[in-house]
Structure 1
Amino acid sequence: MKNVTAITEVFGDGQKVSAVAVEYDKDIDNSKLTTSDYSVDSKTITKVYANTEAAKASKGVNGKYVIIELSTDISPDTRNGPGNGANGAGNGQNGNAAQGASQGANPPQGGGGPSLGSAASDSSESKPLTVNVTQNGDIATTDGQTYKADAGVMTNSKDINLVVEDFKQLVYTDPNYNNEKLMYNLYVPKNYDPSKKYPLVLFMHDAGVVSNNPTNTLTQGLGAVIWATPSEQAKNECFVLAPQYTSVIADDSSTTTELMDITVDLVKELEKQYSIDPNRLYNTGQSMGGMTSIAMDIKYPDMFAASLLVACQWDPTKVTPMAKDNLWIIVSEGDSKASPGMDAITEALKKQGATVSSKATWNAEASAAELSTDVSNMLAAGCNINYTVFKNGSHRYTWQYAYTIEGVRDWLFKQVKK
């Protein structure tokens, strides 16, 4: 083995090593490889095959790289916890002031969540994921040689961070707020053409991801990166904006800091820099980020064409400006704050003339086909507000699955501001 490269992807529960590329000095015979030829510390191997590059493939071909694919299932230990509402855990990687607390709100009084403005204390540097590989079996080359099994352990010296590395890390300075700075990640469509108009998706993270590391919002889960994946861009080419907040910007008393307004100013600035369609701006967020989405919809009622609100809520006495908005709300049954909180909001919006789909309970872990049927059934009602509840689950569980539902993402892009 010459070297080892870790291939990482982001899933509902965060960034993981999904494959390992082991490079040799000669082409490897793909037909003679088996999963027992290698072991990877603390990982379950699902496929082993050769390739001509350090990349996953649908089938193997003879080449100098051996690709070891790994299981990336969400751990049962993280599906339903820890915590509901304001106590739901974030991604647990930051070690900052807000870690272990994802926003919720008990409308209308609130209370109990992270303090507004609580600042991160973690490092701004990312810690690359590592993986340890052992070659347990004899490996045959295409020219008839054999590389004998070796008990030595090799650790990756390189990494390929799929989708994450397609985002630019930038800093916005807002002249309207004393030149306060906001770190952000921006995905620009790969075939960007200034003569075309593109939609933009704004994703805002939960309080557990408050951090000085600009890319934490990209690696905590799918909320930011899903829109920039090749398959999604092939259908819905768009800009993706993912700010990285270094402090808690929304609290359980339905209050935000000026960073909410600075984020809006950033969107407006990007509209000046790029050919972005002002009628197809979308905001979404989980927990604190979803709460911030609601705050934006209230204060800037004519800005966004639609909002995907995940595991969040707000003071229902303040939501009147949202009555005609296109909203998709997703919470979990076991979320002791977001679930009753969104019940209160939808009841308040109905009184203001909103049409709300019947509150439907879905199995978030159902097959793609079943979830597609769930989406179709909900959309058949023709309401401006769709309301989905995941069976069981707690606060964090909601966003581990919400962004995986293709039909919900497709719905977002069909909304156009009138």
Structure 2
Amino acid sequence: MLLRRLALVCLSLGLLGSSLMPTASAATGDRRPDRGVQSVTAITRVHTYGQKIDAVAVEYAADVNPRTLGPDTYTVTDSVYNFRYDPIEDLTRYADREVVRVYTNDAPAPRPDGRSRTGRYVIVELAPADRGGNTVIVSRCPTFLCSVKVNPEPPTRIVQNEPVHALRGNGNGRGPVLAPASSAALPLTEPAVNLLVDDFEQSTYLHHGSVLPYAYHLPSGYDPGRGYPLMVILPGHGMGWDGENLGVSLAADIPATAWLTDEWNGTGEDVIVLVPQNQRVGPAAEAEIMTALVEDFIGSHAVDPDRVYASTVSYGSRLAWEAMAERPGLFTAALITGGFAVDDEQAARIASARTPIWVTHGLNDHLLPVDYGRDSARSLREAYTAAGVDPGMAEDLVRYTEYGNEAFSEPDYHAAFGPTYEDASILGWLLRQGGR
């Protein structure tokens, strides 16, 4: 009860209005109108296993001559810490990032073609596969289980190794020097530009005195007269709300933002995405308020009630099993990745709605044994058959995929959402259930 009261107080004080992603470590507005670097901004993107700083935008006082720029113009240094493997003490271990492209732009934003556009910003793109630049760090560890958050003071630094020139003029072939070379390591000065994550809205849902923060995304050109599919993302335990980590459920891994792009979801369809960020108070209570939120959201937005889907990571499976058992048919279909096992009673109740479910698990999952995935598929198929479904149809309704180590693009074998979401055919299958 005390936690809920504290939560309400925190929210009323405006926590939801604070920046959810990496923020400036130096004061904003310290502009130098004559020369030198005016600002430094991180540009982040969510990859399969979480958000990384993919580029740094360096602002100058005038338009920059792109012909004087190259990969050696800048050195970017960042922490190599990864919350999935490393102790928080490793946050102070630094390494140089690999610079892959340098070009100019008229805004602190990347360009897909990497070609320069006239502007005062230099975009320094970094290799996403190198170790540095992860934004998510451990937040709180009230028990042996920890929560995570987006680092409010990212340690990214950039050094300008060579002079940067303005566009040519008045016979000056290289253009006047906007900033001389320097060995000074410049910190980030502005709030980060968080690709896709910044497109989500944050809100809260109150239910019987409890508060549930959540994020949601409506498609561009959202039409209240249409009926859109709704994807409900139920994140892992560490992404639950701990009082200071709002929004990390969007950044810690790919499931929330994947549905915003054709590249990930394998379709051209617009999808509404809803991401509850439950306080970790127990799966039954969490499932109750999450279910109430989903039902309220369906009633207040242009959602096709026949196309409401759940996609879970690890602990989020417990909320899905509870919700589907208590409200059979609430979800049109579900994708359960690296999760807990459904129990036989839950399976029997879920079977009454004949809900299509795809379970995936890592063979060498070190946190939740692979038997959890295998047992879930077996229990559900048996329950569906007992409910009158043909055994062959039951196998089609309840699908199971087991991933060996080679399937993981990063060696966290608990994170079965990785190979699952990297397979667009599975995401396409989910959207086709109950489809048009």
Regarding TM over 0.5, the answer is yes
Whether the 8 Å contact between 2:159 and 2:183 is mirrored in structure 1 is yes
Match for residue 109 of structure 2? 55
Q: 2:139 aligns with which of 91, 94, 97?
A: 94
Q: 1:264 aligns with which of 275, 291, 297?
A: 291
The structure-2 alpha-carbon separation of the partners of 1:75 and 1:388, relative to structure 1 and needing over 3 Å to count, comes to farther
Q: 1:173 aligns with which of 206, 212, 222?
A: 206
TM-aligned CA deviation for residue 299 of structure 1: 2.0
1:291 has 2:345 as partner: no
Match for residue 349 of structure 2? 321
Match for residue 165 of structure 2? 140
- Give the superposed CA RMSD: 2.9
Distance 2:139 2:154 in 1: 14
Q: 1:385 aligns with which of 398, 402, 415?
A: 398
Match for residue 69 of structure 1? 125
Quote the sequence identity (%): 24
Match for residue 238 of structure 1? 271
Match for residue 110 of structure 1? none
Whether the 8 Å contact between 1:94 and 1:209 is mirrored in structure 2 is no
1 or 2 for the larger relative contact order (CA 8 Å, sep ≥6)? 1
Whether the 8 Å contact between 1:311 and 1:399 is mirrored in structure 2 is yes
Match for residue 187 of structure 2? 155
Whether the 8 Å contact between 1:23 and 1:65 is mirrored in structure 2 is yes
Match for residue 277 of structure 1? 304
Match for residue 397 of structure 1? 415
The structure-2 alpha-carbon separation of the partners of 1:74 and 1:67, relative to structure 1 and needing over 3 Å to count, comes to closer
Distance 1:96 1:187 in 2: 30
Structure 1 length-normalised TM: 0.77
Alignment-mate amino acid for residue 66 of structure 1: V
Structure 2 length-normalised TM: 0.74
Match for residue 312 of structure 1? 339
Alignment-mate amino acid for residue 60 of structure 1: R
Q: 2:381 aligns with which of 320, 344, 350?
A: 350
**Deviation by residue 1:4-35 (Cα, 9 ceiling, x = unmatched):** 11111122222211110111122222233211
Alignment-mate amino acid for residue 291 of structure 2: V
Alignment-mate amino acid for residue 115 of structure 2: G
The structure-2 alpha-carbon separation of the partners of 1:221 and 1:356, relative to structure 1 and needing over 3 Å to count, comes to farther
**Deviation by residue 1:331-377 (Cα, 9 ceiling, x = unmatched):** 111015341112122222333336899xxxxxxxxxxxxxxxxxxxx
Whether the 8 Å contact between 1:39 and 1:136 is mirrored in structure 2 is yes
1:164 has 2:197 as partner: yes
Paired residue secondary structure (1:321) = helix
Greater C-alpha radius of gyration: 2
Structure 1 stretch displaced more, 145-154 or 275-284: 145-154
Distance 2:115 2:435 in 1: 46
Equivalent pairs, count: 353
Structure 1 stretch displaced more, 163-172 or 23-32: 23-32
Match for residue 367 of structure 1? none
The structure-2 alpha-carbon separation of the partners of 1:52 and 1:241, relative to structure 1 and needing over 3 Å to count, comes to same
Distance 1:28 1:414 in 2: 48
Q: 1:182 aligns with which of 199, 209, 212?
A: 212
Whether the 8 Å contact between 2:279 and 2:286 is mirrored in structure 1 is no
Paired residue secondary structure (2:280) = coil
Distance 2:395 2:110 in 1: 41
**Deviation by residue 1:352-405 (Cα, 9 ceiling, x = unmatched):** 336899xxxxxxxxxxxxxxxxxxxxxxx9922222222125543323443233
Distance 1:316 1:182 in 2: 26
The structure-2 alpha-carbon separation of the partners of 1:355 and 1:348, relative to structure 1 and needing over 3 Å to count, comes to farther
TM-aligned CA deviation for residue 237 of structure 1: 0.9
Please list every run of 5 or more consecutive structure 2 residues that lacks an aligned counterpart in the other structure.
1-36, 78-94, 169-174, 406-410
Paired residue secondary structure (1:262) = helix
Please list every run of 5 or more consecutive structure 1 residues that lacks an aligned counterpart in the other structure.
79-90, 102-119, 250-255, 358-380
The structure-2 alpha-carbon separation of the partners of 1:289 and 1:99, relative to structure 1 and needing over 3 Å to count, comes to farther
1:300 has 2:327 as partner: yes
**Deviation by residue 1:75-131 (Cα, 9 ceiling, x = unmatched):** 59x9xxxxxxxxxxxx65222336646xxxxxxxxxxxxxxxxxx7x99x9615342
TM-aligned CA deviation for residue 306 of structure 1: 0.9
Alignment-mate amino acid for residue 156 of structure 1: L
Match for residue 434 of structure 2? 416
The structure-2 alpha-carbon separation of the partners of 1:134 and 1:405, relative to structure 1 and needing over 3 Å to count, comes to same
Q: 2:231 aligns with which of 173, 198, 201?
A: 201
Whether the 8 Å contact between 1:201 and 1:240 is mirrored in structure 2 is yes
Paired residue secondary structure (2:138) = coil
Paired residue secondary structure (2:270) = coil
Distance 1:99 1:60 in 2: 48
Paired residue secondary structure (1:185) = strand
Match for residue 23 of structure 1? 59
Alignment-mate amino acid for residue 49 of structure 1: Y
Paired residue secondary structure (2:154) = coil
Whether the 8 Å contact between 2:264 and 2:422 is mirrored in structure 1 is no
**Deviation by residue 1:308-347 (Cα, 9 ceiling, x = unmatched):** 1010132442312344321121111101534111212222
Whether the 8 Å contact between 2:284 and 2:322 is mirrored in structure 1 is no
The structure-2 alpha-carbon separation of the partners of 1:394 and 1:137, relative to structure 1 and needing over 3 Å to count, comes to closer
Paired residue secondary structure (1:25) = coil
TM-aligned CA deviation for residue 214 of structure 1: 1.9
